[in-house]
Structure 1
Amino acid sequence: MKTSQFQAGKFQSIHAYDYQYFLPESINHSFEIDSGNLQVQLEKSTRLLGELNAMARMVPNIDLFIMSFINNEATQSSKIEGTQTEIEDSFKKESDIKIEQKDDWLEVKLYIDAIKEAINKLDEIPISTRLIKQIHKTLLSSGRGVEKMPGEFRTSQNWIGGNNINTADFIPPHHDFVNELIGDLENFLHSQHPVPEIIKIAIIHYQFETIHPFLDGNGRVGRILIPLYLVSNNLLSKPLLYMSAFFETNKNSYYQKLMKVRVNNELLDWLLFFLKGVEQTAEHSIEILNEVLDLKTNLTQTIRGNTGNRANNNLKLLEKLFQMPYIRVEDVREQLEVSSATAKNIVDDLVRVEILEELTKNKRNRLFAFKPYLNLLKKPFPKYE
């Protein structure tokens, strides 16, 4: 099928109810690119993704920095759903979160758990209904979603937007069609149709969001599928591309372009938007990774030049800080397996050279932040052009 000839599906009435649900067509077939603009954008997106992948292979200890990408993804994806947690909060322990922020914080932490668990499970099982349900089960295992059938497809009608089904912005397919539609999506996911992989995951993401197979958490699951697909199909060797910052920055366009596919069959416009998102996200990730590496190099020199005979231990702590940028003296003692006195001296050294900043001003149980790194991670994402 040519992309310009795509038919998304149709709206259908349900007997005795005053609303129409959308029933999408099957996607398990070939897609032929018949747009010069799409071909040009595909080449740009593929090149940037390749550059990101090459960088991931070259960077020593790349796993040190992956958590920052995962935490940022969890924060941005949850923001799309309305949470207010910032990336710095995602690194904090629950005891450091204000009571009124804990529900949002928990949602982000469960998202982080779901991503890490799914990536690890790729070694055991492919992306499948089983894995999708497991991701959902983890996402909704606690907090606000625990009563929304974690790990199970819905058995009732849901809707998107509006206070009720009669004022909804969009009504996904009736629940009787969910298993069949997800089966078709899974078949397409593993098919050998000659479709470029980035185009394929763009179509999969659209279709998953349209099916909306769960009572809650569909957007988060759909966004997690993107890096999983890229890793499982060897476009990335490490999970470093997460698109939620792009979707959050361009939230209105994101929803509008999904809806235009359903209503007007505008698949091309969605594909161009998604591929531009891949390009910008890869470019942003490369930029952040370069800045993190420069920061690490500069701080290593600072520690070696200014902390005397404790430099080795201080450098060991610096490595830890890229994964846990909020830390207490007790954490340092446990992580480096040193005495409490030595841990305090290490922290004091890093405060003195302005790598750590004390937040609590308490004599005991003081909390310190790796501010240079946290400030870098908050760099704004560019607006879609």
Structure 2
Amino acid sequence: MGGVVRLVLTVSPMHARRHPWMHLDTCRRVSARQQGCRRARWGAVVLRSTREDDHAGVGLVTNMSTRRTYCSNMYILCSNSYMFGGHAYDAYMWTNTDRPYQDLPALPPSIEVETREVLKALTPAARALAALDAACRRLPDPSMLINTIPLLEAQASSEIENIVTTNDELFRAAHGALGEPLTPPIKEALRYRSALMAGFEALKTRPLTTQTAVDICSHIQGRPVVVRNQPGTFIGNPDTGKRVYTPPEGQDVLLDHLSAWERFLHADHGLDPLIVMALQHYQFEAIHPFSDGNGRTGRIINLLFLTQSGLLDSPVLYLSGHIVRHKDEYYTALRGVSEREDWQTWILFMLRGVEVTSRWTLNLIESVATLRASTEDRIRAEFPKLPVADITRLLFTQPYIRIDDVVAAGLAQRQTASRWLGELSDHGILQKRKVGRSVVFVNVELLGLLVHPLHR
């Protein structure tokens, strides 16, 4: 069973009657009988009662080798106890992070995930996301969000994997205004944006599947990828060499896990879609199906799942901004599920991310709308003969504008377009920059709203 040890914990019925809520840190008369293992190491334990009317909690084993159980933060509710015979509990302990987690449990989890705390956090997250989606649908031209949010998402998601670029670099590179060769980090971030948009387009013809994940990862890597078939995947601290988790191994095993993951995506299990998003994201990262790019692929799938579920019309949720801001908490919560089945902490983290980033994007929409209105008024006052509404719309599709963009929009011929942009630059509405042999014009105020996003 990989690094999983099965234990049976037997609780005295008299003790259970006297102490229906038992804190195992203070209960020294709980014996541990190991099955299939000569010695249990330290690790995480998940208690499952053999009695349907009992409830079990989760905690950490501090020492199991003495056949005594010393646990912290673990409670068991022993209900309907009897005078004769003990209550038996199955404990599954993940004991060795160097061994692959072959028997990764399928979703949904066997424990209750829609707890009171989760449901309390679900309401504001769902409301914020719904408000964002409604605001995007009301926009007369959502192209600015569609052009920029995926770039911000690409930058942040890549930074989580220590692929670092700045937002300004990425915006300039995306619009041909960098003026220098693209660095490898910029290329990877741009491929992420391409993968996100390709996945979004693919949803129009087919639902999320394992093949979707393969296609997304192939875009990210810039080459075809397959589900890994070699052992030796390292997840841990590269400086110390300490492993924190070893994913399943064997291509057939991985494909089986991916099939179960895919069925869960489309099953009628009665869970809220935001909770499903959190559950499936953990599961995908735990399967770790590719040699590289799993985190970025999984974070794209989050947005595609929300779109497929009808919660987002476009992939404009900047969820990776929250994750990169709380990177340590993100990885700690992921490990908490693997080590002690702490689904609640993980789900709460993801719900908070949805709420925070939804509200941030709503604020961005309002700020851009205000700036757009004031810019249009200024252009109308200073250049009444220009096609003011059309020019303003173009200036707010992306922060970098070229003469060719005005021509491609059908607003003017090249000479006239050059004159218009030059005049806007002379009056401080745009900023003119030389890039190689060509010129670009920058909507500096719009860029200022975008280069200082959520996690800065």
Give the TM-score, by structure 1 length: 0.87
* 2:153 is equivalent to residue 78 of structure 1: no
User: How far has the Cα of 1:54 moved from its partner?
Assistant: 1.6
Contact 2:147 2:398 in 1 (8 A): no
CA distance in 1, matches of 2:398, 2:410: 13
Aligned to 2:425: 351
Aligned to 1:320: 394
User: How far has the Cα of 1:169 moved from its partner?
Assistant: 3.1
* 2:101 is equivalent to residue 22 of structure 1: yes
CA distance in 1, matches of 2:310, 2:112: 22
CA deviations on 1:77-129 (whole Å, 9 max, x unpaired) are 11111122222222334764465752111111111111111111111110001
Which one of the candidate residues 230, 254, 259 is aligned to 1:178? 254
Contact 1:135 1:151 in 2 (8 A): no
User: How far has the Cα of 1:245 moved from its partner?
Assistant: 0.2
Contact 1:78 1:108 in 2 (8 A): yes
CA deviations on 1:291-317 (whole Å, 9 max, x unpaired) are 11111111111111111312x0x5434
User: How far has the Cα of 1:326 moved from its partner?
Assistant: 1.8
CA distance in 1, matches of 2:379, 2:56: 56
Structure 2 portions without partners, runs of 5+: 1-47, 49-54, 60-89
* 2:367 is equivalent to residue 367 of structure 1: no
Aligned to 1:226: 302
User: Which letter does structure 2 place at the counterpart of 1:160?
Assistant: I
Question: Residues 3 and 212 of structure 1: is their aligned pair in 2 closer, same or farther, counting only changes over 3 Å?
Answer: farther
User: How far has the Cα of 1:75 moved from its partner?
Assistant: 1.0
Sequence identity percentage: 27
Contact 2:179 2:435 in 1 (8 A): no
CA distance in 2, matches of 1:5, 1:184: 25
CA deviations on 1:231-275 (whole Å, 9 max, x unpaired) are 111112222223100000111111111111111221111111111
CA distance in 1, matches of 2:118, 2:95: 31
CA deviations on 1:8-65 (whole Å, 9 max, x unpaired) are 986487xxxx932234211146764453221110111111111112212222122342
Question: Residues 31 and 229 of structure 1: is their aligned pair in 2 closer, same or farther, counting only changes over 3 Å?
Answer: farther
User: 1:359 aligns to what SS in structure 2?
Assistant: strand
User: 1:92 aligns to what SS in structure 2?
Assistant: helix
Structure 2 counterparts to residues 269-288 of structure 1, below 5 A: 269-288=345-364
CA distance in 1, matches of 2:151, 2:374: 24
User: How far has the Cα of 1:330 moved from its partner?
Assistant: 4.1
* 2:454 is equivalent to residue 381 of structure 1: yes
Structure with greater proportional helix content: 1
Q: Which moved more, 1:331-340 or 1:54-63?
A: 331-340
User: Which letter does structure 1 place at the counterpart of 2:236?
Assistant: G
Q: Which moved more, 1:66-75 or 1:213-222?
A: 66-75
CA distance in 1, matches of 2:404, 2:136: 32
User: Which letter does structure 2 place at the counterpart of 1:133?
Assistant: V
User: 1:169 aligns to what SS in structure 2?
Assistant: strand
Contact 1:30 1:193 in 2 (8 A): no
Q: Which moved more, 1:217-226 or 1:317-326?
A: 317-326
User: 1:366 aligns to what SS in structure 2?
Assistant: strand
Question: Residues 366 and 34 of structure 1: is their aligned pair in 2 closer, same or farther, counting only changes over 3 Å?
Answer: closer
Contact 1:357 1:370 in 2 (8 A): yes
Give the TM-score, by structure 2 length: 0.74
Which one of the candidate residues 156, 179, 187 is aligned to 1:106? 187
User: 1:257 aligns to what SS in structure 2?
Assistant: helix
Aligned to 2:122: 42
Structure 2 counterparts to residues 161-172 of structure 1, below 5 A: 161-163=236-238, 167-172=242-247
Structure 1 portions without partners, runs of 5+: none
User: How far has the Cα of 1:377 moved from its partner?
Assistant: 1.1
Aligned to 1:52: 132
Contact 2:336 2:342 in 1 (8 A): yes
CA distance in 1, matches of 2:256, 2:329: 29
Which one of the candidate residues 197, 221, 228 is aligned to 1:140? 221
Which one of the candidate residues 220, 223, 226 is aligned to 1:152? 226
User: 2:100 aligns to what SS in structure 1?
Assistant: strand
Contact 2:98 2:243 in 1 (8 A): no
Aligned to 1:299: 375
CA distance in 1, matches of 2:363, 2:328: 25
Which one of the candidate residues 337, 341, 351 is aligned to 2:415? 341
Contact 1:49 1:235 in 2 (8 A): yes
Aligned to 2:314: 238
Aligned to 2:198: 117
CA distance in 1, matches of 2:431, 2:116: 52
Q: Which has the higher contact order (CA 8 A, sep 6+)?
A: 1
Structure 2 counterparts to residues 2-21 of structure 1, below 5 A: 11=94, 19-21=98-100
CA distance in 2, matches of 1:56, 1:295: 17
Aligned to 1:247: 323
Contact 1:316 1:336 in 2 (8 A): no
Question: Residues 183 and 9 of structure 1: is their aligned pair in 2 closer, same or farther, counting only changes over 3 Å?
Answer: farther
User: How far has the Cα of 1:173 moved from its partner?
Assistant: 1.4
Question: Residues 112 and 19 of structure 1: is their aligned pair in 2 closer, same or farther, counting only changes over 3 Å?
Answer: same
User: 1:84 aligns to what SS in structure 2?
Assistant: coil
Question: Residues 89 and 235 of structure 1: is their aligned pair in 2 closer, same or farther, counting only changes over 3 Å?
Answer: same
CA distance in 2, matches of 1:213, 1:93: 31
Aligned-residue Cα RMSD (Å) equals 2.9
User: How far has the Cα of 1:352 moved from its partner?
Assistant: 2.8
CA distance in 1, matches of 2:239, 2:259: 29
